[in-house]
Amino acid sequence: MKSELFRLLKNIIAIGTIIIVGYYAYNYFFKEASNELTIDKSPMHIESIKAIAEIATISYKDEVVMDSIEFYRSEKSVYDPREWIRIYDRNIKRRITLIVKGEVKYGINLNDENYSIRSNTDTIWLYLPTPGILDVLVSPSRTEIFQESGIWTDTERKKIELLAKQKLKRNAKKLNLGKKAKVNVIRFFKSIIDDRKVVIITFNHD
């Protein structure tokens, strides 16, 4: 009776081991198959339509890497076999690395209140707002999740993506593109205005 119970236990352990090994083998070999998942068809709805007048004169394209790592807080013990995986993982609990490609656009956003034109027979006076950043463009197709280990929530990922946007903006500001955008705005308007007249452009018109 005792030997039968022992045999039963041995069988259960053997089957359990096979299931666990099989599960990990499946995860190792077949997990990439999830890349083939395709979304269902669903309609797109228009939420708003707006008439605008934005003149973009500088486009700055950049790529930033955002790496977020969380380590185990406690020290690992080499004597505890359960913690050996931590040695393999360099004590990293979870990690996510995003490569975000984005575009920063500089220019002016015109409306009835911030721009005006005056002219006489030989001179044109153009009052414009100061050029600045119009858009920091990011989208999923330009975002690559380079590596992901552990569980990451949507909120955490969103936070990393927003930090990436800020980084893109900072990089653009470092290059002093505001000044360049101003020069281009002047060039832009002079190219579409009758060159027989003198054009005087004044910025910071509010």
Partner 1 sequence: MKSILIHLVIVFLIMSCSQEKEIRNVDIYEIKNIGDLSTTEYTVGKIIKLNDEANEWYEYGERKILISCKAKIKAGVNLSLLEEGDIVVSGKKIVIHLPTAAITSFEMNPNDIHTEMESISGFRDKFTQTEKNLFLKQGEVAIRKDLRQTGIIKDANDNAGSFIKEFYRNLGFEEIIVIPKNVENEK
Query: Is 132 a binder of partner 1 (CB under 8 A)?
Result: no
Query: Is 131 a binder of partner 1 (CB under 8 A)?
Result: no
Site string for partner 1, 168-197 (x = CB under 8 A): ---x---x-x--x---x---x--xxxx---
Q: Are residues 58 and 177 in contact, defined by beta-carbon separation less than 8 angstroms?
A: yes
Angle at 175 between CA 68 and CA 160, to 5 degrees: 15
The alpha carbon of 31 is separated from its chain's Cα centroid by a whole number of angstroms, namely: 25
Can you spell out the DSSP letters for 80-122?
-GGGHHHHHTTTEEEEEEEEEEEEEEEEEE--TTT-EEEE-SS
Site string for partner 1, 98-127 (x = CB under 8 A): -x---x-x-x---------x-x----x---
Q: Which residues ranging from 21 to 50 are in contact with partner 1 (CB under 8 A)? A: 22, 26, 30, 34-35, 37-50
Query: Is 84 a binder of partner 1 (CB under 8 A)?
Result: yes
CA distance 66 to 75: 26
Which residue, 5 or 43, is less far from partner 1 as judged by CB? 43
Selection from 70, 104, 62 nearest residue 86 by Cα: 70
Q: Which residues contact 111 (CB under 8 A, 6 or more apart)?
A: 53
Sole binder of partner 1 in the list 4, 73, 151, 204 (CB under 8 A): 151
Q: Is 132 helix (H, G, I), strand (E, B) or coil?
A: strand
Q: Are residues 181 and 107 in contact, defined by beta-carbon separation less than 8 angstroms?
A: yes
Site string for partner 1, 62-81 (x = CB under 8 A): xxxx-x----------xx-x
Query: Is 56 a binder of partner 1 (CB under 8 A)?
Result: yes
CB of 177 to partner 1, least distance (A): 7
Which residue, 8 or 65, is less far from partner 1 as judged by CB? 65
CB of 165 to partner 1, least distance (A): 8
CB of 59 to partner 1, least distance (A): 5
